[in-house]
């Protein structure tokens, strides 16, 4: 680490530490201003949320496989909603709503972006902390409060809402007459999501200001690591998307409690009662929601792109292919993501011309995604792979992202979507891209950055078993859903009394078995996390021989990241496979004289 001191120049004028070192338990671990702690808090919340969301999905899957049997043990946990373990149709939908909401918001938006981004981004740009540490602390606790409000819906008399994570109006707007859980439960849902939006906006604020203003000397935008680029782009997408979801939630809440009619048209008769509302538009909710909702899925996946693009060169020991093309493609995806929201609404009665207008950019957005995938394949080609667990999850990411992305081709064409919309084909598609690919990004990031976060190495044997069983498990669970969809098997059904869906039970049972197997495999990950945290072998500063700044400081870093030294950057993040004093790579903080003499043979 003597190279760090070799690159010190003068300290910038009047730059005191952004915040003092923590001096109490509360300051250290609870209301911490340190981005590293806040990142770990977000990851902890994501872990809690994913365990909750997975548990809900096991109940759903068990019920789908054995619709006439009660689910073991559930009667004890939920005696009012599932007496004797019997899953009523409404309880199924309530589980499904909470599963989707928890997974999309509290796992896929927090962990890859707020979790890893908070921990790693300031380190990677050479800053002491995020630009606004107090807003950062607030953003985590606001998000935590949002989670608590959401979970509270399980404890109100009528239970959580049953309108899905998409909460379409008027089902979600007219109040409890439309179904169980649509009273207080739905209101709690709306309030939770509104609070979540505020937390995300505070987070985006920090990411953007830190990336633009707090980069260390020599860290030009072009030299930023690809994961920093990805978090930066994600924060911009999030800024715009969540700024639209918040108004949507405000208007929905007003419809529910203040008697307004933003989303409720006239003349509705719900539960034999003529609704007093008039003139609202149910489609307006869909437009506002999906204007947020589609960019949201890119918020879930773009950090994964960044994580893969950071890890792959390190494990392939050669530079990433086409880094400028990579960034340009991510920017293109970010821009196009705002033009495609109508592809969720092809069947909503919009004019055929509008459908075409949405279908075209939806297909076009696959081009930059395909190029990025090809860049990864090109990076792997002709490399000398170090096969550790982080590498495996990156390779797995490529495989599952291809699978999930390709199934999108069918859904992006309205004439085919006419048949496949609302079927298990859609469920298979979004689980592959979000529930699998984005999760693989989270796993890859965990195995890669755990040593830096906790100063200990994770166990490689457990990691490889985790990967192997998970990789097989996800294909076994989610690939058959496409076949169910081709048969016309409808989603969001608690069981299948229709004649033509009777034959699907065998496939559903297979999926349930695979899903439970997949869930069990995650225990290996949990054990590995806990064991390594407590007893893992000490981690060196740079266990992966990687180039970016976080690896130039200690594992874990000191509270101000670089021990009072302000790093000076002389290289980009892509200097792998070059002969140097270190071997086959040059770190970003190495002196300029350590230029690449030649390619490593």
Partner 1 sequence: MAPPNPARTGVWVGIGAVIMSFAAYTSAMIVRQGTTPEWHHIALPPILYWNALVLVASSVTLELARQRIGGPFDRLGRTPAVQAAKSREWQFWYRITLVLSVGFLVGQFFAWRRLASEGVYLASSPSGSFFYVLTALHALHVLGGIGALLYALRCLHADDGPRSVNVLGAVAVYWHFMAALWVYLLVILALWI
Partner 2 sequence: MGKLFAAAVTVIALVSAGIFLSRVWWLPPDFTTLGKDIDGQLVETMIFTGVLFVAAQLALATFVWQSTSRTAAIRVFPGGPMPLVATASVIVGLEILSLVFVGTKVWSKIFLAPAEANALHIDVQAGQFAFYFRYPGPDGKFGVPHPDKIDEGNSNFFGLDPQNDTAARDDIVSASLVVPVDQPVLLTMHSKDVGHSLYIPQLRLQQDFVPGLVIPVHFTATGVTKTEIVCTQLCGLGHYNMKAYLEVLSRQDYDKWLAAQAGQ
Q: Point out which residues bind partner 1 (CB under 8 A).
A: 14, 131-132, 201, 204-205, 208-210, 212-215, 239-240, 242-244, 246-248, 250-251, 254, 258-262, 265, 278-281, 283-284, 287-288, 291
Q: Which does 375 bind (CB under 5 to 8 A by kind): partner 2, partner 1, none?
A: partner 2
Residue 171 tokens, joined: 């089902």
Q: Which does 529 bind (CB under 5 to 8 A by kind): partner 2, partner 1, none?
A: none
Q: Which does 554 bind (CB under 5 to 8 A by kind): partner 1, partner 2, none?
A: none
In whole angstroms, the minimum distance from the beta carbon of 439 to partner 2 comes to: 17
In whole angstroms, the minimum distance from the beta carbon of 122 to partner 1 comes to: 12
First to last CA, the chain: 26
- The CA-atom distances, in angstroms, between 260 and each of 253, 271, 303, 474 are 9, 20, 39, 44
Considering CB under 8 A, how many residues would be counted as binding partner 2? Answer: 114
Stretch that binds partner 2, among 130-138, 202-210, 395-403, 553-561 (CB under 8 A): 395-403
At what angle are helices 389-411 and 439-454 packed, to 10 degrees?
A: 150
Site for partner 2 in 20-39 (CB under 8 A): none
Stretch that binds partner 2, among 217-225, 296-304, 371-379, 560-568 (CB under 8 A): 371-379
Q: In whole angstroms, give the CA distance from residue 542 to residue 101.
A: 37
Residue 201 tokens, joined: 């906006």
Question: Is 430 a binder of partner 2 (CB under 8 A)?
Answer: no
Closer CB to partner 1, 284 or 505, in the complex: 284
Are 448 and 544 in contact by the 8 Å Cβ rule? The answer is yes
Closer CB to partner 2, 501 or 513, in the complex: 501
In whole angstroms, the minimum distance from the beta carbon of 249 to partner 1 comes to: 11
Binding mask 451-470 for partner 2 (x = CB under 8 A): -------------x---x--
Shortest CA distance to 302 belongs to which of 344, 333, 342, 340?
333
Are 94 and 159 in contact by the 8 Å Cβ rule? The answer is yes
Residue found by looking up tokens 């984005």 in the block: 438
In whole angstroms, the minimum distance from the beta carbon of 396 to partner 2 comes to: 8
Site for partner 2 in 120-179 (CB under 8 A): 162-164, 168-171, 174, 178-179
Stretch that binds partner 2, among 115-123, 135-143, 301-309, 493-501 (CB under 8 A): 493-501
Q: Which does 284 bind (CB under 5 to 8 A by kind): partner 1, partner 2, none?
A: partner 1
Question: Is 209 a binder of partner 2 (CB under 8 A)?
Answer: no
Query: 3-class DSSP state for residue 168?
Result: coil
Other beta carbons within 10 Å of 11: 10
Centroid of chain to Cα 241? 15
515-533: b (≥16 Cβ within 10 Å) or e: bbebbebbebbeebbeebe
**Given the DSSP bridges, would you call strands 576-580 and 269-270 parallel, antiparallel or unpaired?**
unpaired
Closer CB to partner 2, 164 or 218, in the complex: 164
Question: Is 509 a binder of partner 2 (CB under 8 A)?
Answer: no
Burial of 597 (0-12, 13-18, 19+ CB in 10 A): exposed
Closer CB to partner 1, 91 or 242, in the complex: 242
In whole angstroms, the minimum distance from the beta carbon of 267 to partner 1 comes to: 12
Report the residue count for the chain: 601
Stretch that binds partner 2, among 207-215, 277-285, 447-455, 559-567 (CB under 8 A): 277-285
Site for partner 2 in 306-365 (CB under 8 A): 316-323, 347-349, 352-353, 355-356, 359-360, 363-364
- According to DSSP H, which parts of 214-322 are helical? 226-257, 282-316
Are 358 and 342 in contact by the 8 Å Cβ rule? The answer is yes
C-alpha torsion angle, residues 141, 146, 147, 151 (rounded to 10): 140
Centroid of chain to Cα 87? 29
Question: Is 434 a binder of partner 2 (CB under 8 A)?
Answer: no
- The CA-atom distances, in angstroms, between 514 and each of 13, 80, 499 are 59, 29, 25
Stretch that binds partner 2, among 72-80, 85-93, 198-206, 559-567 (CB under 8 A): 85-93
In whole angstroms, the minimum distance from the beta carbon of 259 to partner 1 comes to: 4
Shortest CA distance to 443 belongs to which of 234, 551, 303?
303
- Give the residue, chosen from 24, 415, 593, 597, that forms a contact with partner 2 under the rule CB under 8 A: 415
Q: Which does 580 bind (CB under 5 to 8 A by kind): partner 2, partner 1, none?
A: none
Q: Which does 205 bind (CB under 5 to 8 A by kind): partner 2, partner 1, none?
A: partner 1
Q: Which does 251 bind (CB under 5 to 8 A by kind): partner 1, partner 2, none?
A: partner 1
In whole angstroms, the minimum distance from the beta carbon of 473 to partner 2 comes to: 12
Question: Is 202 a binder of partner 2 (CB under 8 A)?
Answer: no
Closer CB to partner 1, 134 or 384, in the complex: 134
Closer CB to partner 2, 491 or 509, in the complex: 491
Closer CB to partner 2, 75 or 265, in the complex: 265
- Give the residue, chosen from 81, 496, 544, 585, that forms a contact with partner 2 under the rule CB under 8 A: 496
Closer CB to partner 1, 208 or 600, in the complex: 208
In whole angstroms, the minimum distance from the beta carbon of 401 to partner 2 comes to: 10
Are 588 and 552 in contact by the 8 Å Cβ rule? The answer is yes
Residue 344 tokens, joined: 């969720």
Question: Is 260 a binder of partner 2 (CB under 8 A)?
Answer: no
Which residues are CB-neighbours of 37 under 8 A, at least 6 positions away?
28, 29
In whole angstroms, the minimum distance from the beta carbon of 105 to partner 1 comes to: 18
Question: Is 421 a binder of partner 2 (CB under 8 A)?
Answer: yes
Question: Is 371 a binder of partner 2 (CB under 8 A)?
Answer: yes
Are 111 and 46 in contact by the 8 Å Cβ rule? The answer is yes
Shortest CA distance to 481 belongs to which of 451, 519, 510, 447?
510
Burial of 540 (0-12, 13-18, 19+ CB in 10 A): middle
Residue 53 tokens, joined: 């969301």
Other beta carbons within 10 Å of 350: 17
Q: In whole angstroms, give the CA distance from residue 511 to residue 271.
A: 36
């Amino acid at each position: 680490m003597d190279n760090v001191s070799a690159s010190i120049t003068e300290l910038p004028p009047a730059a005191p530490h952004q915040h003092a070192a923590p001096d109490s338990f509360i300051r250290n671990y609870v209301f911490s201003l340190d981005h590293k702690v806040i990142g770990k808090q977000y990851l902890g919340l994501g872990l809690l949320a994913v365990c909750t969301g997975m548990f809900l999905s096991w109940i759903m899957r068990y019920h789908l496989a054995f619709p006439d049997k009660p689910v073991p043990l559930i009667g004890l946990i939920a005696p009012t909603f599932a007496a004797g373990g019997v899953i009523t149709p409404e309880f199924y939908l309530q589980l499904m709503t909470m599963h989707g909401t928890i997974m999309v918001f509290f796992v896929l938006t927090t962990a890859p972006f707020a979790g890893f981004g908070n921990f790693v981004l300031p380190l990677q740009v050479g800053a002491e902390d995020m630009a606004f540490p107090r807003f950062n602390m607030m953003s985590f606790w606001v998000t935590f409060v949002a989670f608590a409000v959401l979970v509270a819906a399980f404890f109100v008399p009528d239970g959580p809402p049953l309108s899905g994570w998409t909460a379409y109006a008027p089902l979600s707007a007219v109040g409890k007459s439309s179904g169980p859980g649509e009273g207080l439960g739905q209101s709690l849902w709306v309030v939770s999501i509104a609070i979540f939006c505020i937390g995300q906006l505070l987070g985006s604020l920090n990411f953007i200001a830190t990336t633009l203003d707090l980069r260390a000397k020599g860290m030009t935008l072009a030299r930023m690591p690809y994961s920093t680029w990805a978090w930066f782009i994600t924060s911009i997408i999030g800024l715009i998307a969540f700024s639209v979801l918040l108004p949507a939630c405000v208007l929905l809440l007003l419809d529910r409690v203040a008697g307004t009619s933003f989303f409720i048209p006239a003349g509705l008769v719900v539960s034999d009662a003529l609704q007093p509302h008039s003139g609202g538009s149910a489609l307006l909710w869909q437009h506002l929601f999906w204007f947020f909702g589609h960019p949201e899925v890119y918020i879930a996946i773009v950090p994964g792109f960044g994580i893969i693009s950071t890890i792959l060169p390190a494990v392939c020991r050669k530079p990433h292919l086409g880094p400028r093309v990579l960034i340009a493609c991510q920017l293109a995806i970010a821009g196009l993501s705002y033009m495609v929201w109508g592809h969720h609404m092809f069947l909503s009665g919009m004019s055929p011309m509008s459908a075409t207008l949405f279908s075209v950019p939806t297909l076009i957005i696959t081009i930059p995604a395909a190029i990025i995938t090809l860049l990864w394949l090109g990076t792997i080609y002709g490399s000398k792979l170090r096969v550790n667990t982080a590498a495996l999850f990156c390779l797995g990411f490529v495989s599952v992202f291809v699978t999930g992305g390709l199934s999108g081709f069918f859904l992006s064409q309205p004439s085919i979507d006419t048949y496949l919309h609302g079927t298990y084909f859609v469920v298979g598609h979004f689980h592959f891209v979000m529930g699998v690919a984005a999760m693989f990004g989270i796993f890859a990031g965990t195995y890669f950055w755990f040593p830096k976060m906790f100063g200990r190495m994770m166990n490689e044997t457990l990691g490889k078993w985790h990967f192997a069983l998970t990789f097989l498990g996800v294909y076994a669970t989610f690939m058959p859903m496409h076949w169910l969809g081709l048969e016309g098997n409808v989603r969001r059904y608690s069981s299948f009394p229709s004649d033509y869906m009777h034959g699907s039970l065998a496939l559903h049972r297979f999926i349930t078995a695979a899903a439970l197997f997949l869930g069990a495999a995650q225990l290996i990950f949990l054990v590995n996390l806990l064991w390594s945290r407590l007893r893992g072998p000490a981690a060196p500063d740079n266990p992966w021989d990687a180039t970016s700044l976080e690896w130039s400081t200690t594992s874990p870093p000191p509270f101000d990241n670089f021990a009072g030294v302000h790093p000076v950057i002389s290289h980009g993040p892509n200097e792998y496979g070059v002969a140097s004093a270190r071997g086959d790579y040059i770190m970003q903080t190495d002196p300029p004289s350590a230029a690449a003499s030649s390619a490593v043979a």
